[in-house]
């Protein structure tokens, strides 16, 4: 276990010294400034918004804007998580950084685990901070609070952790650049699945909805995001049946209690595949 801790500490030090954090922090600050501006604009004239079906304008505007900000939170978290994991095996092995670590009494399992733990810890703290700040901004500027506060944040963090695990898996087989591209393609595929679901919803196409639903579980960061969206208006009457189902990157979809089990199993299988590939790999 102590080897896992040393590797995780090394990964954190690497992230800090290589300025991964400062890049992401700059992007985050920029996004928050824009979000604040958007909030101010939207809620300045919230009375002029006329949502259909007798929904109140304030929850309508709040949920829509906050739903989008949740997507941005997950996206920025994914950028961070991928930065932290994309070269862990292939990239570092090619550069000769990995070999000196692995001839120490550190197993390949411990190395992967240390790296995953570090990435998940960093991303979880990051997502929690960003989510909290955006929540406070929405509440204080817009006067709207989501129905469920903590669970959507947990789901976003879990979504980011899933992508980090996928990126670690990719790093076993691909060079850093190829892996970075591959992971963002997979992430993009999840978003496309969400978009298809929204289109299916708008057109009333059952086939499209089913395909999108299956895809969102195959790439479960998308299912997590959609479930998080559903949670923010969980108790708002008439809401779930309407507008948030049409989010640009996937609408709100309550996933049910099985999602947590599915995610745990998914990350476990992805990690096991990564380990199996890593064990067979000559360095």
Partner 1 sequence: MGLRTLAGMPPALSVQALEKRYDGVQALAGVDLVVEEGELVGLLGPNGAGKSTLVKIACGLVRPTSGAVEICGAPPTSADARRALGYLAELFRFPGWYSADELLSLHQRLAGSDGDRAERAELLRLVGLDEAADRSIDTMSKGMQQRLGIAQALIGSPRLLLLDEPTSALDPAGRRTVRTLLEELRGRGVAVMLNSHLLSEVELVCDRVAIISRGKFVAEGSPEELSHARGVEIETGSGMHSFPDAEREDAPRLVADLVARGESVYEVRILRTSLEESYLEVVEDTQE
Task: Note the residues at the interface with partner 1 (CB under 8 A).
Answer: 2-3, 6, 10, 13-14, 17-18, 95-97, 99-107, 280, 282-283
Using N-to-C axis directions, what is the helix angle for 220-232 and 150-173, rounded to 10°?
170
Q: How many CA atoms lie less than 13 Å away from 156 in the CB half-sphere?
A: 32
Cβ proximity to partner 1, 246 vs 283, nearer residue: 283
**Least distance CB 269 / partner 1 (angstroms):** 24
Least distance between partner 1 and beta carbon 119 (Å): 17
Cβ at position 82, least distance to partner 1 in Å: 20
Q: Least distance in Å: CB of 97 to partner 1?
A: 5
HSE of 260 in the Cβ direction (CA atoms, 13 Å)? 5
CB of 94 to partner 1, least distance (A): 9
Q: How far is the CB of 21 from partner 1 (least distance, A)?
A: 13
Nearest CB to partner 1, comparing residues 63 and 111: 111
The residue ranges of DSSP E strands in 85-204, in sequence order, are none
Q: At what angle do helices 57-85 and 176-203 cross, to 10 degrees?
A: 160
DSSP structural state of residue 246: G
Category of 54 on φ-ψ map: left (φ > 0), alpha (ψ -120 to 50) or beta:
left
* Pick 113 or 243: Cβ nearer partner 1: 113
CB-based burial label for 72 (10 Å; 0-12, 13-18, 19+): middle
User: Does residue 4 contact residue 114 with C-beta atoms inside 8 Å?
Assistant: yes
Length of the chain: 283
Nearest to 61 by CA among 80, 74, 79, 45: 45
Residue 271 beta carbon to partner 1: minimum distance, rounded to whole angstroms = 20
Nearer to partner 1, 5 or 235 (CB): 5
Two tokens, residue 158: 């879990």
For partner 1, the closer of residues 54 and 100 by Cβ is 100
Which one, 96 or 257, has the nearer CB to partner 1?
96
In the bound state with partner 1, the residue whose beta carbon lies nearer, of 19 and 45, is: 19
Minimal CA–CA distance to 67: which of 44, 38, 24, 45?
A: 38
């Amino acid at each position: 276990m102590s080897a896992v801790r040393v590797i995780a500490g090394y990964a954190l030090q690497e992230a800090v010294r290589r300025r991964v954090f400062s890049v992401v922090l700059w992007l985050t600050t920029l996004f928050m400034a824009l979000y604040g501006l958007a909030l101010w604009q939207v809620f300045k004239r919230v009375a002029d918004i006329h949502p259909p079906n007798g929904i109140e304008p304030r929850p309508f505007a709040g949920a829509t804007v906050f739903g989008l900000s949740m997507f941005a939170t997950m996206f920025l978290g994914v950028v961070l998580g991928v930065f932290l994991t994309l070269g862990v095996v292939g990239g570092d092995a090619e550069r000769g950084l990995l070999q000196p670590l692995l001839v120490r009494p550190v197993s390949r399992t411990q190395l992967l685990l240390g790296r995953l733990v570090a990435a998940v810890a960093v991303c979880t703290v990051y997502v929690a901070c960003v989510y909290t700040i955006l929540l406070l901004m929405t509440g204080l500027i817009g006067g709207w609070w989501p129905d469920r506060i903590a669970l959507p944040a947990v789901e976003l963090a879990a979504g980011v952790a899933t992508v980090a695990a996928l990126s670690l898996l990719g790093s076993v087989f691909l060079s850093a650049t190829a892996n970075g591209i591959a992971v963002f393609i997979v992430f993009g595929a999840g978003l496309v699945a969400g978009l298809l679901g929204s289109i299916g919803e708008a057109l009333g196409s059952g086939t499209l909805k089913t395909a999108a639903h299956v895809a969102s579980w195959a790439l479960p960061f998308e299912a997590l995001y959609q479930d998080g969206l559903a949670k923010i208006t969980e108790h708002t009457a008439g809401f779930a049946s309407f507008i948030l189902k049409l989010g640009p990157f996937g609408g709100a979809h309550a996933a049910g209690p099985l999602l947590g089990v599915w995610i745990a199993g998914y990350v476990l299988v992805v990690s096991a595949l990564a380990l199996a590939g890593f064990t067979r790999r000559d360095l």
